[in-house]
Structure 1
Amino acid sequence: MVDFGFDKIALIGAVALIVIGPERLPRVARTVGHLLGKAQRYVADVKAEVNRSIELEELKKMKGQFEDAAHEMEQSVSSEIRQTTSDLEKGWSESDPLLTPGSPGYDELRPPPEYRHPKKNWRLKRGATPQWYKQRHGIRGKAQSGAARVARFRPPRHNA
């Protein structure tokens, strides 16, 4: 930035006093101060934006490196699993030559491919409060309409 000493500032002030005049000098100085403040804030905002974009680029690079490392790890683990599986199947077939892939009885020894819970009705909402607790404390188990509730608790009519 430009280096202003006291003597240069005094010279600029004296010239401004002569050119502008003492009546308008305070208003012009205030306006110049406001404009300089806005310019400084604008420069600070631009610097902050540049710093943010640089940090964002660095974060994107780090993210790419982590994704590459995770992908490599996943590939190495899956290749190890494939190798182990093939070794196990090879050892299994060598231990009993009658049970080889494709021979009768081979598929019967393998577990089913996926577990399915028998007859689970996931659409049915289950209450969190146990049924025995509701029965012991008299909590209503079934909803009744208002008219049915009134009829239930209405005293019996006596015809006299």
Structure 2
Amino acid sequence: MIDLGISKLALIGAVALIVIGPEKLPRLARTVGALLGKAQRYVADVKAEVNRSMDLEELKKMKDSVESAARDVQTSVSSGASDFEKSWSEATSGLDGSASSAGYDGAMGQLGSDLYPSYKHPGKNWRIKQKAMPQWFKARAGVRTRTQSGAARVARFRPRSSSASR
């Protein structure tokens, strides 16, 4: 980088004062400062954009790896499920025929309806209030029994003026 010390900055300032003049120097300094600020903001924006694009590339790579892992898991689960279904069907293939051949199918149907009666609705209307809370409990628990509007509450608790107390 450029090595600018106090002596070099003073020399540059003296030359600028002589060449540009004392009337235009403050305006030129503001303009140069504004341009340098814009340049720094532009460089910072470019750096941020480069960092975002690098992060985006990393996220895309991570997404691809996660998707491939998910596909592998899905294929292994589906193959395991098909193997399980095959073994289950083999294990239960003998059970389906034996229950109907023994004659338990009709008896279980009749017995099952006696063991588990059909659902009967209780017949209560749960939307209607069944009980009321007693007033003494409301008073003890601090439950409001009478409602007031906001204006009425303000008027009730507003301090009385000194003219009304005379």
TM-score bracket, shorter-length normalisation: 0.5 to 0.7
Q: Which residue of structure 1 aligns with residue 46 of structure 2?
A: 46
Deviation at 1:75, TM superposition (A): 0.9
Unaligned runs of 5+ in 1: 100-104, 110-129, 138-160
Deviation at 1:87, TM superposition (A): 1.9
Measured in 2, the distance between the counterparts of 1:23 and 1:132 equals 89
Q: Which residue of structure 2 aligns with residue 86 of structure 1?
A: 86
1:98-138 CA-partner distances (Å, limit 9, x unpaired): 95xxxxx9xxx9xxxxxxxxxxxxxxxxxxxx82342648x
2:12 aligned with 1:4, yes or no?
Answer: no
Q: Which residue of structure 1 aligns with residue 28 of structure 2?
A: 28
- Structure 2 counterparts to residues 57-76 of structure 1, below 5 A: 57-76=57-76
TM-score, normalised relative to structure 1: 0.56
Deviation at 1:77, TM superposition (A): 0.7
2:72 aligned partner, one-letter code:
E
| Residue aligned with 1:134, SS | coil
- Structure 2 counterparts to residues 95-114 of structure 1, below 5 A: 95=94
Measured in 2, the distance between the counterparts of 1:72 and 1:22 equals 76
1:58-98 CA-partner distances (Å, limit 9, x unpaired): 112112211111111111011001011112223344x47x9
| Residue aligned with 2:128, SS | helix
RMSD across aligned positions (CA): 3.0
Measured in 2, the distance between the counterparts of 1:55 and 1:4 equals 36
1:52 aligned partner, one-letter code:
R
Measured in 2, the distance between the counterparts of 1:22 and 1:135 equals 90
Unaligned runs of 5+ in 2: 106-123, 132-166
